[in-house]
Structure 1
Amino acid sequence: MVNAVRKTLYLMLLAVLCASGVAPATAQITGQPNIIFILADDLDAGDLQKFPNIWNQLVRQGAGFQQFFVTNSWCCPSRSSILRSQYVHSHGVLTNTAPEGGFTKFHDSDLERSTLGVWMKSAGYRTGLMGKYLNHYPGGSAEPTYVPPGWDEWDVPVRHLYNEYDYTLNENGVLTAHGLAPEDYLTDVLSQKAGAFVSQQGSEPFFLYLAPIAPHNPANFAPRHAGDFADAIAPRTPSFDQIDVTDEPHWLNSRPRFSARTIQGIDERYRRRLRAMLGVDDMVGALIETLRATGKLENTYIFFGSDNGFHLGQHRLAQGKTTPFDESIKVPLVVRGPGIAPGGVIGDLSANVDLAPTFAELAGAQLPDFTEGRSLLPLLRGRTPSPWRQNVLLEFYRPTSEKSARQTPVPAYQGMRTARNTFVRYSTGEYQLYDNIEDPYQLHNLAAKVPPTVIAEFNQQLDALVACSGATCRSADSVRPPSFTAPASFVGPSSFLGPDSILEPGLVGPRRP
């Protein structure tokens, strides 16, 4: 009787704390925890403060990773790396489209036999995937009703995915048409399905992979958000419409400066992206309220991230991704859950191949030998294992079809992002090298200014990374990288925010005249 009273009082106190937005940092896992992974589409690392539920319920109540990167900044290769915990050269899904990429490559290579969903289901989890799966799903030999192995609940569009209206949804093998009414808005439909999934009764823990479309182009938004962010403009960082690209590879130094009309288009795209993300923010808020109401919040981990970043005017790119610049490869990762102190900041290097091992360790799932990432759980618990990741491998492959190749001006490349430097070698024979501490906006390519021995050292370590497989990747990425600090004469003052810089809300960097 006494124990029952204590438990009741504890639950009442917990409910009060949760209702006030304060989660006890000392809460511990009870059995296998529930896990929710929310993956936005093309969301860069900035602006989370503009979304109240994401900011207050996840960022302020969880821990954020300051140095989290994707190993390929294109949707399908990145999502394949998440599902398999493999670098692109290992899983072989090189681009977004067939024959060398897309869902067709993933499916025809029989990669679905062993994915995150299969591993979590084998550990006793009820699994669900809702939203975007892989680009051009379904395709090839797969029927529109196809559901990959490992998923108990499957709610994935098979037509007009990015429109978020007038689409067809594969609901566990049954096709359901949705129209143009406000209630058909895909993000809201997924939100309702996610709430129903986490509310189900039963003793099984759940793993939910929730993949909304926002803020991917065309960034359609719910009618209720049409008037929001009316005056917002894209951040005018020092790299916006970059003035001097003389030392950059040809693909970049051949790009013209923006016209006034192009800048207007960038700002409008930025506003649409913010409005579309408000739908995701509503989804996050509703999901947390449902978890709280069902008593599951305190035993649930919520991971929030993105498949790649996005350019909005930086480095003369009006829009897009696929580059090795931080705007493209650096993405948010925020985690809330048992034992995670609110407001924590984690500065260790980490990557999207590390997500599946993290979920597996939380679940007690067995990982296959081919996985190449490492669990982030020690970092979330305040401990950095030794050795730890010292670099992130970057890979980009050009599509073979002319139509797909027109989506990006970037040549194929291999590279590495360390805590200090970004090093890139292109298929054209050109290089990039940045000192990200002295030059945080990556305005000064130092590759032609450093001694050849520096390039040789980076090349040698990069060779080991691109040749790695399975456990050898965790050895190759834990080697201390070449250290290069740019002399002051190499990096101009335009990289820095001086004491007279004028900052505006939502702006990173000095205001342009």
Structure 2
Amino acid sequence: MKLPFYALVIAIIHNSLLACGTTFGPVDQKPLAPLNGGGTGQNQSRPNIVFILTDDQDLHMNSLDYMPFVKKHLIDRGTFFKRHFATTALCCPSRVTLWTGKLVHNTNVTNVVAPYGGYSKFVSQGLNDDYLPIWLQESDYNTFYTGKFLNGHSTDSYDKPHARGWNGSDFLLDPFTYWYMNSTYQRYHDTPVSYEGQHSVDVLAKKALGLLDEAYEAGKPFFLGLAPVAPHANLYSPAFRHGNHSELEDIEFSPPVPADRHSTLFEGAKVPRTANFNPDKPSSTSWIRKLPKQNQETVDYNDHFYRQRLRALQGVDEIVDSVVRRLEALDILDNTYIIYTTDNGYHIGQHRMAPAKQCSFEEDINIPMIIRGPGVPEGSTSEIITTHADFAPTLLEIAGAPPREDFDGLAIPLTAYGLKEASETRHEHVTVEHWGFASNEGQVFDWYPRLHTNNTYKALRVISNTHNLHYQVWCSNEHELHDLATDPGQMVNLLHPDEQQAPATIAGAPLEKVVARLDALLFVLKSCKAATCVDPWKALHPKGNVASLADALSPRFDGFYEEKERKMRIQFERCEMGFLLDAEGPQFKEEEVAFRFDPKWHEWT
């Protein structure tokens, strides 16, 4: 990965300071002596896991290019997963998928606030008793965590009940989660502590090293989760100062706040001027297609917002360096997997949108993911499809725990051989879903309010040597299709009536035929469970002779899909703010396949 000039300057500054033995930032960067004279009580037969989870970090606006320590320690020493996706582009639902290995329609944590989401919903769904840290503890791992856990995990709910599964924790709590200079953390079962006047990421940096030392001293293999709030927008309400919550419409959103030492970096940086940045022509459908072109004042504001994100990420970059150096000093770096990712992506100006997430465009769902560790190829890039639902199976496999049959994801291969095999055999689809509102985290205008409420949809990505497609059905039953092979910015909705130049074919197949296959695939995925989420084609073709869209496009299946179109079609009954089954329309049920389809088609399946 080529670094831009700004990042090279930062790297030179950082490395020069380190070479001089200078302290940079809040964490001691001087060479560290191993604890206890270099001894380690760990069982070295099983690896440790450090999981770094940022908040709203983009891939498509090149944020990684401005993080030299991430490049040095992780990208250059590990594998960058180019096609990693969040299956829901909203933090709380996405994080629950990460910790459970289940898609959001199977967790029913669909939003950031009650009644459809947040910590209280996580608890009421029984997930506080059945998720990753508990499973790791059952495999004799110690588990530690600091930073943002879930939205709604707050100063008045953190002990109702405590988050289970952690041997050590220091949680960042609402309503102070996104207030960079007035954070509140809560350690173990202690009373929450305010860090007003200190930068939230810097506070976490110290806590991260403290928990790492505790994990090392405990002598067992460990999982350590680090979840800084950067580069999420800064959120403030007068009610926050008294520890009270506010309605979303009453909260002031503003650009992230970097630490003072980073506040003047990247003065010339701007949101990449891609084809879909503030385009002359509207795109997509529903509320997005109605957005007007942004004026220069708004564009300038968005560029400032972008620079503040890059600046806020510098503290995260320093955490990566500090953690790697501490692991090295403790002589456990070579036996530790380090995973770096984010909960969802982000857009600023693409498709004329204000800063936010919650859409199914690439900017929002295709996100950074890097893994370094024992046996992981160094300086490598993989293009296999991975998602957040794959993390829980992967981490349990690392821990030597038995696989669970209810996972909606598939373990990520971590060796050169496994990655090569996966490149030939792994599935090509990504399930994407969202319920409720789309937010605006930038400036509020009459034409662009704080919230758009009709943002419920089911979507699908199919990426292979023959197809690169995005298909979506909105709760309004509007449809969307993009061919990213010819339209990487997703500017042309091939199914919108205003598009006069929709091609008759996509990748050699008639457009209508491709849409019918995609609709069938998404029909299965929108309510899939467990193995069906990994291999949905087998639900449609039980004999197992269809494993890809290309297979399904064979002419011998035309009659089968014509019959399917009459009997099963994605059709929302209405738009809802959360997952309500009676609003979701017809549901695919594997046990009813033979009943739903005329048996004569089974000779083809």
Query: Normalized against structure 1, the TM-score is what?
Result: 0.83
Q: Which has the higher contact order (CA 8 A, sep 6+)?
A: 1
Counterpart for residue 322 of structure 1:
358
Counterpart for residue 304 of structure 1:
340
Counterpart for residue 249 of structure 2:
none
Q: 2:163 aligns with which of 139, 148, 155?
A: 148
Q: 1:158 aligns with which of 170, 173, 187?
A: 173
1:366 aligns with 2:426: no
Q: 2: distance between equivalents of 1:475 and 1:389?
A: 7
1:42 aligns with 2:56: yes
1:188 aligns with 2:256: no
After superposition, what is the alpha-carbon deviation per residue over 1:47-88, rounded to whole angstroms, capped at 9, x for unaligned? 212111111111111110111111100011100100110011
Counterpart for residue 520 of structure 2:
460
1:357 aligns with 2:393: yes
Q: 2: distance between equivalents of 1:143 and 1:429?
A: 39
1:395 aligns with 2:395: no
**Which AA in structure 1 matches 2:45?**
G
Q: 2: distance between equivalents of 1:187 and 1:477?
A: 44
Q: 1:334 aligns with which of 338, 345, 370?
A: 370
Counterpart for residue 507 of structure 2:
none
* Contact 2:394/2:410 (8 A) holds in 1: yes
* Pair 441,204 (structure 1): closer, same or farther in 2 beyond 3 Å: same
Counterpart for residue 443 of structure 1:
491
**Which AA in structure 1 matches 2:146?**
M
Alignment of 1:484-503 (within 5 A): none
Q: 1: distance between equivalents of 2:342 and 2:452?
A: 20
* Contact 1:257/1:316 (8 A) holds in 2: yes
Q: 2: distance between equivalents of 1:482 and 1:306?
A: 32
Counterpart for residue 575 of structure 2:
none
Q: 1:105 aligns with which of 108, 121, 126?
A: 121
**CA displacement at 1:38 relative to structure 2:** 0.4
Q: 1: distance between equivalents of 2:321 and 2:155?
A: 34
* Pair 217,306 (structure 1): closer, same or farther in 2 beyond 3 Å: same
* Contact 2:375/2:414 (8 A) holds in 1: no
Alignment of 1:263-282 (within 5 A): 263-282=299-318
**CA displacement at 1:447 relative to structure 2:** 2.1
Q: 1: distance between equivalents of 2:98 and 2:434?
A: 16
**Which AA in structure 2 matches 1:394?**
V
Q: 1: distance between equivalents of 2:151 and 2:494?
A: 36
2:105 is paired with a residue whose SS is helix
* Pair 179,362 (structure 1): closer, same or farther in 2 beyond 3 Å: closer
Q: 2:71 aligns with which of 25, 32, 55?
A: 55
* Pair 477,228 (structure 1): closer, same or farther in 2 beyond 3 Å: farther
After superposition, what is the alpha-carbon deviation per residue over 1:196-222, rounded to whole angstroms, capped at 9, x for unaligned? 222232430110111110000022221
**Which AA in structure 1 matches 2:419?**
G
Alignment of 1:409-488 (within 5 A): 411-419=455-463, 420-448=468-496, 449=502, 451-476=511-536, 479-481=547-549
**CA displacement at 1:389 relative to structure 2:** 1.9
* Pair 270,89 (structure 1): closer, same or farther in 2 beyond 3 Å: same
* Contact 1:389/1:477 (8 A) holds in 2: no
**Which AA in structure 2 matches 1:149?**
R
**CA displacement at 1:32 relative to structure 2:** 0.9
Gaps of 5+ in 2: 1-29, 31-42, 235-255, 440-448, 497-501, 505-510, 539-546, 554-605
* Contact 1:378/1:384 (8 A) holds in 2: no
Q: 2: distance between equivalents of 1:127 and 1:291?
A: 16
Q: 2: distance between equivalents of 1:441 and 1:477?
A: 28
Counterpart for residue 37 of structure 2:
none
**CA displacement at 1:356 relative to structure 2:** 1.1
**CA displacement at 1:30 relative to structure 2:** 4.8
**Which AA in structure 1 matches 2:129?**
R
**Which AA in structure 2 matches 1:193?**
K
* Pair 38,313 (structure 1): closer, same or farther in 2 beyond 3 Å: same
Counterpart for residue 70 of structure 1:
86
Q: 2: distance between equivalents of 1:257 and 1:399?
A: 21
1:286 aligns with 2:322: yes
* Contact 1:81/1:91 (8 A) holds in 2: yes
1:384 is paired with a residue whose SS is helix
**CA displacement at 1:177 relative to structure 2:** 2.4
**CA displacement at 1:169 relative to structure 2:** 1.2
**Which AA in structure 1 matches 2:170?**
D
Q: 2: distance between equivalents of 1:67 and 1:143?
A: 35
Gaps of 5+ in 1: 1-18, 20-28, 486-513
More deviation, 339-348/295-304: 339-348
* Contact 2:57/2:345 (8 A) holds in 1: yes
After superposition, what is the alpha-carbon deviation per residue over 1:269-295, rounded to whole angstroms, capped at 9, x for unaligned? 011101100000011111111011110
1:134 aligns with 2:182: no
Counterpart for residue 210 of structure 1:
226
**Number of residue pairs matched by the alignment:** 452
* Contact 1:166/1:177 (8 A) holds in 2: no
1:179 is paired with a residue whose SS is strand
Counterpart for residue 102 of structure 2:
86
* Contact 1:33/1:205 (8 A) holds in 2: yes
**CA displacement at 1:161 relative to structure 2:** 0.9
* Contact 2:431/2:525 (8 A) holds in 1: yes
2:224 is paired with a residue whose SS is strand
After superposition, what is the alpha-carbon deviation per residue over 1:380-409, rounded to whole angstroms, capped at 9, x for unaligned? 6433347422201010111599xxx95346
**CA displacement at 1:332 relative to structure 2:** 0.6
Q: 1:257 aligns with which of 293, 303, 325?
A: 293
Q: 2: distance between equivalents of 1:274 and 1:483?
A: 43
* Contact 1:144/1:170 (8 A) holds in 2: no
* C-alpha RMSD of matched pairs (Å): 2.5
* Pair 238,379 (structure 1): closer, same or farther in 2 beyond 3 Å: farther
**Which AA in structure 1 matches 2:87?**
T
Alignment of 1:200-239 (within 5 A): 200-218=216-234, 219-239=256-276
Q: 2: distance between equivalents of 1:43 and 1:484?
A: 35
**Which AA in structure 2 matches 1:455?**
V
Q: 1: distance between equivalents of 2:100 and 2:81?
A: 21
* Contact 1:94/1:396 (8 A) holds in 2: yes
Q: 2: distance between equivalents of 1:143 and 1:180?
A: 19
* Pair 213,58 (structure 1): closer, same or farther in 2 beyond 3 Å: same
* Pair 145,224 (structure 1): closer, same or farther in 2 beyond 3 Å: farther
**CA displacement at 1:326 relative to structure 2:** 0.1
Q: 1: distance between equivalents of 2:533 and 2:192?
A: 43
**CA displacement at 1:378 relative to structure 2:** 4.8
* Pair 312,484 (structure 1): closer, same or farther in 2 beyond 3 Å: farther
**Which AA in structure 1 matches 2:372?**
R
